[in-house]
Copies of this chain bind each other. A is one copy, B any other.
Amino acid sequence: MKKSMAEKRLIVDMQPIGRRIDVEPGQSILEASRTAGVGLISLCGGEGWCDSCRVRIASGEVNPPSQSEMDTIGEDQIKKGFRLACQVIPVSDVRVDIPPESLSTPQRLQVEGKDFEIPLAPIVRVVDLELSPPTLEDLRADAARVRDALADHGFLESRLELPVLEDLSEGLRKNKWTARFILREGELIAVLPSGVDIFGISVDIGTTKLAIYLVNLLTGEIVEKVGEMNPQIAYGEDIVSRISYATENPEGRQQLQMVLVDVLNTKIQELCTSSGINQDQIVDAVIVGNTAMHHLFTGLPVGQLVFAPYVPALNAPIDFRARDLGIKMAPGSYIHLLPNIAGYVGADHSAVILSTDLWNTKETVIAIDIGTNTEISLVSGGRILSCSCASGPAFEGAHITHGMRAAPGAIERVQIIDEELKIFTIDDQPPVGICGSGILDVVAEMKSANLINEKGAFLEDKRYIRKGKKNNIELLLVPGENAGNQQDITVSRKDVNEIQLAKAAIRAGQDILLKEAGIQPDDIDQVLVAGAFGTYINIANAIKIGMFPEIPLDRFHQVGNAAGMGAIQALLSVEKRNAIEKIIKQVEYIELTTWENFQKVFVRAMYLN
């Protein structure tokens, strides 16, 4: 019996995305979707105690629901066919409907940053050469012939290493000894047909999202940009759970590395296809990410990042050959990672400092890159102070009753005007949940409309406020009949508290940096708010709930993916690359968790003004 099962692989038809995947007997739909590269959200890492991977079994037979499913999603929903993908095991071919909020793609990604102009001076250089072929009178080895010709063109003492040598002899003969040679710091890294363009890629590896840019290195033009989910989400939603996975599983670190490498290769290939170029024409790359992403991508150890004093394995910038990780670019090309600042202030924040010109300003400027971890840098009086705030995933929709990512159908704007509640969803789809900017609006508007007090406590007997099923007080944001999934969308006191915790962390970071610099909020000339979430939020509402200090609105600038822009700058200018390396050494990192009055500052920041 067991044997005949083992031989039969079952098919899971996933809708609406239209993917058909194989399932091994005994494998859960979540496991199968990981293998197949379908991005199902799994906040608890597949342990059945959250409902983020909720799916509906449309047809086919599956195992009976587990107790944790009964507890988590309830009997009513199970009767309607809902199950947790991590718990449900097909016993026949099945068809599964995936609600938008369970699917990690598609969704809106931030790939655009503030415009910038920098001198074009990439690390790679180009030279077109016509070589004389070998004869009995000129028996120089192919490598020596190339080296001599490069020397004639001023590239003295160039190095030719294995990755390029492997194809050099055939390439020279095929191209009849005429080719475009690409050099990087004296090393020949690619040999291309004469006259072709060369490109670089910049990548911002976020904990949840990747932004990938294809850039023409001869013109500086951003040819194309794509976003993609971080495939590591399948192994844990946040950094700590991924580090656990990496350290507790024998091949965990390598697995987390390889899923990143795979998705990068896929994206590179897509970019090449859509731009009509060859992978060999991609001759350089700059990658940024927080310290954990930086380490997991490069294969560095991460265990020490979760134990005090949270030191990185490496802060310094690092270069290695793309092919050392199997990244499909020109054979000899390198990947550059910007320096990290601390265990929780990574290369992505170095990129923010770079692209915002923070390091160059004479003003007092604070840059805030909001995410699951929020990094803040304050420039004041010639000092750069940086810290990291554990703002948590609430603004990504996690830990919020009806929270979701910024996907179609997410409520992204909320207004309460004259006691009338108005919602706006992404792509104007029927509402299915609330994303970060929406929940921030909810809290701000509830406070303005006096539905909650400054501690986040709900005031009863107000319109939209009701008793929930478990006798708790809640805000009814969207009644089930208006919702895309026929369920009431509500906001609980706990949800409001989650937002208070998140914004308090961010505010406490700002307050402590100001104290360290010995200045007042009003001394700040500019507040730069970076990141996808930071770009979409209503700044006035963020001030209203006390996430930012109360200073004039025109001092705030939403600068988009400043990290990605920093990566592009470092790609286009070796001077920028060198500059940030120096700057980072001057950054004063402030560890908040051991800062003397942190707790006091944090509790004060919890108040909704």
Give chain A's interface residues, CB within 8 Å of chain B. Answer: 134-136, 139-144, 147, 160-162, 165-170, 173, 298-301, 303-304, 308-316, 318, 320, 324, 340, 342-343, 589, 591, 594
Contact = CB atoms under 8 A, between A and B. Distances in A.
Contacts of A314: 141-144, 160, 165
Contacts of A298: 162, 165
Given A136-B308, A170-B303, A304-B169, A320 B142 contact: no
A320 B324 CA distance: 12
Contacts of A309: 134-136, 139
B136 A169 contact: no
A139 to B, nearest CB: 6
A405 to B, nearest CB: 32
Contact of A136 (B165, B313, B315, B591): B591
A143 B591 contact: no
Given A136-B308, A139-B591, A340-B141, A162 B299 contact: yes
A5 to B, nearest CB: 21
12 contacts: A140-B311, A141-B340, A143-B315, A144-B315, A160-B316, A161-B320, A165-B300, A165-B318, A166-B299, A168-B313, A169-B300, A170-B303
A282 B139 CA distance: 37
Given A142-B313, A143-B313, A144-B316, A301 B170 contact: yes
A591 to B, nearest CB: 7
Contacts of A304: 142, 169, 173
Nearest to A311: B134
Contacts of A168: 301, 313
Nearest to A324: B162
Nearest to A143: B314
Contacts of A162: 298-300, 318, 320, 324
A136 B320 contact: no
B591 A300 contact: no
Nearest to A166: B299
Contacts of A139: 309-311, 342-343, 589, 591
Nearest to A299: B166
A238 to B, nearest CB: 21
A142 B299 contact: no
Contacts of A316: 141, 143-144, 147, 160
Interface centre among A168, A304, A320 (most CB of B within 10 A): A304
Nearest to A170: B301
Contact of A167 (B141, B173, B301, B315): B301
Contacts of A594: 136
Nearest to A138: B309
A228 to B, nearest CB: 24
A165 B589 contact: no
A294 to B, nearest CB: 11
A342 to B, nearest CB: 6
Given A142-B312, A166-B299, 19 more contacts: A136-B308, A139-B342, A139-B589, A141-B311, A141-B314, A141-B316, A141-B340, A142-B311, A143-B313, A143-B315, A143-B316, A144-B314, A160-B316, A162-B299, A162-B300, A162-B318, A162-B324, A167-B301, A169-B303
A316 B155 CA distance: 17
Q: Which of A311, A320, A324, A343 has the most CB of B within 10 A?
A: A311
Nearest to A339: B141
Given A142-B304, A340-B141, A165 B313 contact: yes
Contacts of A166: 299-301
A137 to B, nearest CB: 9
A165 B301 CA distance: 8
A546 to B, nearest CB: 29
A35 B162 CA distance: 28
Contacts of A140: 311, 315
Nearest to A168: B313
Contacts of A167: 301
A308 B136 CA distance: 8
Contact of A312 (B141, B299, B301): B141
A167 B302 CA distance: 11
A592 to B, nearest CB: 12
Nearest to A304: B169
A76 to B, nearest CB: 49
A447 to B, nearest CB: 37
Contacts of A165: 298, 300, 313-314, 318
Contacts of A147: 316
A250 to B, nearest CB: 14
Nearest to A253: B166
Q: Top 4 A-B pairs ranked by shortest CB distance? A: A141-B315, A169-B301, A143-B314, A141-B312
A135 B143 CA distance: 50
A251 B169 CA distance: 17
Nearest to A316: B143
Nearest to A325: B162
A333 to B, nearest CB: 15
A569 B461 CA distance: 91
A169 B253 CA distance: 14
A304 B320 CA distance: 31
Q: Among A139, A299, A318, which residue has the most Cβ atoms of chain B within 10 A?
A: A139
Given A303-B170, A304-B169, A141 B313 contact: yes
